[in-house]
Amino acid sequence: MKKSRFCTVLLIFILFPLIVSGCGSQSANKVEPESDYGINIDGDNVTFTDARGKELTIPKNPERVVCLDNSCLDLWYKCGGKAVGRVSPTEDKPVDEAKDVEIVGDLSSPSVEKILFLEPDLVIIASQRKSQLEAASILEQNGIDVVVVDVIFKEDYFQVVRLFTVLTGREDLYEKYAIDVMDSIEEIIKKVPKDKKPKVLILFATAKDISTRDSNTTVGQMVKDLGAVNISDCDTGNDNASSKIFSMEKIIEEDPDFIFVQTMGSDKVKITERIKKDVESNPAWSSLKAVKEGRYIILPKDLYLYKANDRYHEAYEGLAKILYPEVFK
């Protein structure tokens, strides 16, 4: 009897480390919410690295927030936040919840004085703007927390949703605005025909000039994810630039199946004139396959210039319907 008990105890001692080890392996494979995207929560503080590569520790639930980007402002409100200051609203990216919020300048030239007057405890800015990065330095010198975000790819969007929902204390909204959107995008990508590789040209037009966009851009990533070939990726003239010099000769040589045009700027007349002058006036333009077959498309700003945010899957679906109408109806 004693020998039997001894063997049982011995067996438990032998198996226990294996059981613990097995549990540990499962835990190691599971990503804990507190460390998602390098965002760590310690009580009421959140530590993370922003788009500048700067490590920050910021208190949760900031009460006085100024947001200097309308796409970010839209997402901040969706993630449970509110703001006391913002930049001038745009027609194509309205944020109705913030229509009465104090305006501190426009996107390209925010007023540091107006921001300081509002006494914010947090300022959210977009890293693409030099003027905003310069403002960030002054604001931090005045003891104000500044977060710089940069949403170019869908992975950036999911990371910012995670950060915003943690800061607002509304982590429950991460599923709605990130996981559900992620799942919807993946379902769209799964339906893309594997045997088709349509050639696409992405033009970026302003009142001043026209350039092409490669896959290292928001729309460029969508096009690539949807199985299309971006002809700007073939341009080896400037591999480090996502926005490249417009070359009619290259476009004629590649003869894309689809041409997508992003426009930026409030003066639509001047943008249209620029497109006509630099693109459509060329005699060879009308001979392109995409033009002849009605696949020369100006993309809506709300989904393809400004950040689509929780409508990201709609942006993917919109392009998928154009590229593969026989699949996406």
Q: What is the CATH number of the domain that holds 160?
A: 3.40.50.1980
All residues at 6 or more sequence positions from 251 whose CB lies less than 8 Å from its CB, including other chains: 201, 231, 288
Q: Please tell me whether residues 131 and 265 are part of one structural domain.
A: no
Average pLDDT over residues 270-292: 93
- pLDDT tens digits, 54-102: 999 999 999 999 999 999 999 999 999 999 999 999 888 899 999 999 9
Q: What is the pTM of this model?
A: 0.85
The domain total for the chain is: 2
Q: Are 38 and 158 in contact (CB under 8 A)?
A: no
Q: Please tell me whether residues 150 and 222 are part of one structural domain.
A: no
Q: Please tell me whether residues 183 and 205 are part of one structural domain.
A: no
In a domain, 20, yes or no: no
Q: Please tell me whether residues 233 and 174 are part of one structural domain.
A: no
Which among 157, 187, 217 is the end of a domain?
187
Cα-based angle 262, 87, 125 (whole degrees, multiple of 5)? 80
Which among 172, 187, 202 is the end of a domain?
187
> Domain range for residue 41?
34-187
In a domain, 23, yes or no: no
Q: Which of 21-30, 59-68, 114-123, 310-319 has the lowest mean pLDDT?
A: 21-30
In a domain, 21, yes or no: no
Q: Please tell me whether residues 147 and 233 are part of one structural domain.
A: no
Q: Please tell me whether residues 176 and 224 are part of one structural domain.
A: no
36, pLDDT greater than 90: no
Q: Please tell me whether residues 208 and 269 are part of one structural domain.
A: yes
Q: Please tell me whether residues 59 and 104 are part of one structural domain.
A: yes
Mean pLDDT of all residues belonging to the chain: 88
6, pLDDT greater than 80: no
Q: Which of 75-84, 128-137, 297-306 has the lowest mean pLDDT?
A: 128-137
275 residue type, one letter: I
Q: What is the pLDDT of residue 130?
A: 87
Q: What is the pLDDT of residue 129?
A: 82
Q: Please tell me whether residues 147 and 166 are part of one structural domain.
A: yes
In a domain, 4, yes or no: no
Q: Please tell me whether residues 47 and 88 are part of one structural domain.
A: yes
In a domain, 180, yes or no: yes
- pLDDT tens digits, 162-216: 999 999 999 999 999 999 999 999 999 999 999 999 999 999 999 999 999 999 9
Q: Please tell me whether residues 168 and 104 are part of one structural domain.
A: yes
Q: Are 152 and 127 in contact (CB under 8 A)?
A: no
Orientation angle between helical segments 154-168 and 180-190, nearest 10 degrees: 160
Q: Please tell me whether residues 317 and 199 are part of one structural domain.
A: yes
Which among 142, 162, 187 is the end of a domain?
187
